[in-house]
Structure 1
């Protein structure tokens, strides 16, 4: 006759399973990869609104910013990375197992003031002198070359959960019309090339000279006229210089992409962007 098998309380066992799963997911997200959903068009055409990617946290080592924040305003939940991993912040702006980012990397970082996650392209390293003149970067006194690459087009309609309307170089375009931007290939001194978009002449196309402080970095969006980045100081609501400590990780590959209001709307998925490398 078979012996009776004692079992625990099924409710308690379910709770333990959920807790263990959350702990494992938390450790995985903190140490290895963090999911990131592109909310705005500041990195078009490299990244589109609705792209879903994983950020490689091993690329630059770990700091307090490696801990995920958990912010759900609808339920009043606001657990910041500093609340959990503030003990990792250092006076010397260092990281655990730190690695140096390379010019041209697409990086997710923590905004130095608001603490929100941003994603931009790394343009300036510590000690660099950077100026933008007529939309072109002058890096350490040398003009960063740009080559014409046709026109970027998209439909003029609300995009993503925030229903953002794209800005167009071909003037105000009605809903459903073709929105155009000039596309250029920009090549950095280390050979990294990528597309940048131009909408028109504006203040951020002509700047003074920025000198990147030691231990800090200078970031710009690829959609140059629709990006809040290091060209605008933090005191004016921009990004300014970003400390090494605030880097979260490198964006390497888009897993999938949705052109709709939610990634659950499978009929809006962009099939040509599945597992697409981020360049």
Structure 2
């Protein structure tokens, strides 16, 4: 469902009826006469729709986490808020940037339109910015040939769909000042070569059984999930172009299963 498009259509319809009533219909029926329901209802809803549309389009938009690809940072069922203007002001629906504010930085958690199906929103962590050389080999991350600092942080257990328990090793990773935790499952292969898709700038990447090396092209970003062995991300479907950016995730505002997560910042 393209919610921004639906909101825009409702805004145009209700605003159009309100304008028509003000310029034409109200004069015909007289200033004291009440308008028909198909005029009064749109007029009442128009201000509300306008406020919601502006808030979601230019300031903050809510999202729900549907999968475990960002565990342990984000859990299934987390409702998060995304800052829509951090990376620039964009026109709603078409998502065209009209004003630069800040460039995405390594380590930030970003919501973006999935390159293979832009009607879907994905959330991952920014690992590589334009010009970076990204290497993921033997489940270790290197940026421009420098290993990213990681420290063991115990074990982590979670339940996947079907009540399957997953045991992983947890690490604390530091990426350009963003300290966060990641999961590594030692029982899974370093990379599933059969899962690698054809994608734009595929020639920038080399793959083998132990990992990959990719040069991030201009205007693109390399996105990876914190749950490294249970994430469909740039390792498999390629780079995220700048035009697909939605915004920066910054806070968990609700979780029905764990109220203690409410208000947690996303780093």
**Is the pair's TM-score, using the shorter chain for normalization, greater than 0.5?**
yes
Q: Which residue of 2 aligns with 1:44?
A: 71
Among 240, 254, 257, the alignment partner of 1:256 is 254
8 Å CA contact retained: 2:139, 2:211:
no
SS at match of 2:107: coil
> Is 2:57 the counterpart of 1:30?
yes
> Is 2:262 the counterpart of 1:274?
yes
8 Å CA contact retained: 1:37, 1:50:
yes
Question: Take 1:197 and 1:123, find their aligned partners in 2: how far apart are those partners?
Answer: 15
8 Å CA contact retained: 1:132, 1:204:
no
8 Å CA contact retained: 1:95, 1:245:
no
Among 230, 236, 241, the alignment partner of 2:234 is 230
TM-score normalised per structure 2 = 0.75
The 5-angstrom pairing of residues 207-222 of structure 1 reads 207-222=211-226
Name the one with the larger helix percent: 2
Among 142, 150, 163, the alignment partner of 2:154 is 150
Among 194, 197, 201, the alignment partner of 2:183 is 197
8 Å CA contact retained: 1:63, 1:246:
no
Name the one with the larger strand percent: 2
> Is 2:138 the counterpart of 1:134?
yes
Structure 1 unmatched runs, 5+: 68-80, 89-93, 158-163, 166-174, 233-237, 259-268
Greater relative CO (CA pairs within 8 A, separation 6+): 1
Q: Which residue of 2 aligns with 1:113?
A: 116
Question: Take 1:134 and 1:209, find their aligned partners in 2: how far apart are those partners?
Answer: 12
> Is 2:204 the counterpart of 1:243?
no
Among 82, 100, 104, the alignment partner of 2:103 is 100
1:66-102 CA deviation, whole Å, 9 max, x = no partner?
x2xxxxxxxxxxxxx3xxx27x3xxxxx652342111
TM-score normalised per structure 1 = 0.72
8 Å CA contact retained: 2:139, 2:190:
no
125-134 or 11-20, larger mean C-alpha shift: 11-20
Of the two, which has the highest radius of gyration?
A: 2
CA RMSD of the aligned region, Å?
Answer: 2.1
8 Å CA contact retained: 1:44, 1:223:
yes
Question: Take 1:118 and 1:95, find their aligned partners in 2: how far apart are those partners?
Answer: 22
Aligned residues: 217
